[in-house]
Structure 1
Amino acid sequence: MNIPFYKMHGIGNDFVVIDNSVNSISLNKRRVKALCDRRYGIGCDQLIVLSNPKNDLADVYVQFFNGNGDEAGACGNGSRCVIAWLYRKYHRTEFILQTNAGLLPAQVIDSQMVKVNMGQPRTKWRDIPLKHEADTLYLPLAGEPSAVSIGNPHVTFFVEDLSTVDPVFCGKVLEKDPLFVEGANISFVQMLDRQAMRVRVWERGSGLTLACGSGACASVVNAVRRGLADRHCQVKMDGGNLIIDWDAENNEVLMTGPTSFSYQGSFDLDHYPL
């Protein structure tokens, strides 16, 4: 059976999008890993699966799967790509996504730019979650990083010079530190000024990516919490830039950035057994 897919990216963070409301294919870790594999599959950082919403307020139910086959709670760049996909299909500018991290309202700014409300950040140790009680502003690890949940766990290390950090070596180790019950996404941040930062992210289950939307949100939230940044901040990542606004009144994080369609195609489901 041939299954249509769409290849998209948000500043280099790339995705394979499948409309499962039409196809209703079964997924497990083996099939997800095979589809995400860049040599033997289509290749992507994450697989995005769309299906009919379970909440009447939402336009679509969205699931995000990391390259290792695990399901993620949220994905900022992926959410923007879904909005761009919906915009192309329905020609509307406002949508609500239903995700495992909750309902995410979003708005199409123009043909490329999309703004997503990523919701309220959670900073209590149980919400990250951590293995035991700890100060999430200064975790008891070397470098004293900060932690926050943006629908998934993020840990932010603030460094003087990003070029001195090996995010692959460090990320592999830190992602699975025993303190993090569900693992963690690891960000390394160099502040440029109070409204700009340079960020590289090791994504839990996917590795080093050109960009991470939720990681950008987490970096700004943690920088503001530590008095290093303003609530409006430009985040410069390897694949491009995002604008993050942490709304003080509603305690919601708004992410604005570009999206791109790469191509569309189809794959033979029989080549990806469960």
Structure 2
Amino acid sequence: MTLPFVKMHAHGDDFIIIDRRGQDDSITAEIARRLGNRHTGIGFNQLAVVLDCTDAAARIKFWNPNGTALQTCGSATRGVADRLMHETGADSVVVRTDRGLLTCVRASGQRVSVNMGEPSLEWVAVPLAEPMDTLALPIEGDPAACSMGNPHCTFFVDDINAVDVAAVGPALENHPLFPARTNVHFVQVIDRNHIRLRIWERGGGVPLGSGSCCCGAVVNGIRRGLLDDTVDVQCDGGVVTVQWDGQGGVVLTGSVEPIMQGTTCAF
């Protein structure tokens, strides 16, 4: 079986898009693992599979490079929206993910905004293993947790360069407090509208950026009273903007750019 694909990135957070509209969804965990291998496959942080949908322009399913499914991906959602808007010439599009219906709009330049929906703040929705205050987890470093459709654990640190993310990330991802594992963020607050963020991504390692992690980190920073409602997030690969008024959906805005397109084999 051959699969046409488009590869894109959002400030280095790279993903591939496979459009299966009008066809069956043939992507399996094994295929995702093979395509995600950076040595023997294409390589990506996430795989987005675009499917037919009756109440939106398309439905999107997401895979990690290790073959695990994930519920949301802000970067790849914006990439799919960019491609769909190019198809129609429209400046907005609605797509369906496991987060529900998400509205995406064209912003200035090569940027796309997506309303990622409201964050989940209760322990059972993150999910955590037992009832507790999600603003103060009983883990060394006093992190906060929330869900953007996938779990997020945020540490606020004085010097982000002093954190060995690759060394501490795996144990935190698999901490027994997180039955579904978790994304891990390390945040240095520069000022109330600007943070520096480094990430250990559940099922993916250390990426140059992550849209949903940027959202989760800002949400937890606002809940802690550290940030205003519009924040520029400096990741290793570049800057995105996150807006949240404390009640409604979280809006993520940043650039998305195509890298290549081609056809790959999936056996």
Q: Which TM-score bucket, shorter chain as reference?
A: over 0.9
Deviations 1:126-163 (Å, cap 9, x if unpaired)?
Answer: 00000111110010101010000011100100000000
Contact 1:123 1:147 (8 Å CA) reproduced: yes
Q: How does 1:125-274 map to 2 (within 5 A)?
A: 125-248=123-246, 251-269=248-266, 273=267
Work out whether 1:5 is the aligned partner of 2:5. Answer: yes
SS in 2 for 1:42: coil
For residue 65 of structure 1, what is the amino acid of its counterpart? W
Cα-Cα RMSD:
1.1
For residue 260 of structure 2, what is the amino acid of its counterpart? Y
- Partner Cα separation in structure 1 for residue 49 and residue 25 of structure 2: 10
SS in 2 for 1:3: strand
For residue 254 of structure 1, what is the amino acid of its counterpart? V
1:98 to 96, 100, 122: 96
Cα displacement (A) at 1:101: 1.4
- Corresponding position of 1:119: 117
* Matched pairs, number: 267
TM-score (normalised: structure 1):
0.95
Work out whether 1:24 is the aligned partner of 2:24. Answer: yes
Q: Which runs of 5+ in 1 are unaligned?
A: none
Report the more deviating stretch, 158-167 or 28-37: 28-37
TM-score (normalised: structure 2):
0.97
Contact 2:25 2:51 (8 Å CA) reproduced: no
Deviations 1:193-216 (Å, cap 9, x if unpaired)?
Answer: 011000011110111100011111
Contact 2:36 2:44 (8 Å CA) reproduced: yes
Cα displacement (A) at 1:256: 0.6
Q: Which runs of 5+ in 2 are unaligned?
A: none
Contact 2:22 2:52 (8 Å CA) reproduced: no
Q: How does 1:45-56 map to 2 (within 5 A)?
A: 45-54=45-54, 56=55
SS in 1 for 2:34: helix
- Partner Cα separation in structure 1 for residue 71 and residue 38 of structure 2: 23
Contact 2:20 2:50 (8 Å CA) reproduced: yes
Cα displacement (A) at 1:23: 4.5
Cα displacement (A) at 1:182: 0.5
Contact 1:3 1:23 (8 Å CA) reproduced: no
Report the more deviating stretch, 220-229 or 107-116: 107-116
For residue 261 of structure 2, what is the amino acid of its counterpart? Q
For residue 190 of structure 1, what is the amino acid of its counterpart? Q
Identity of aligned residues (%): 40
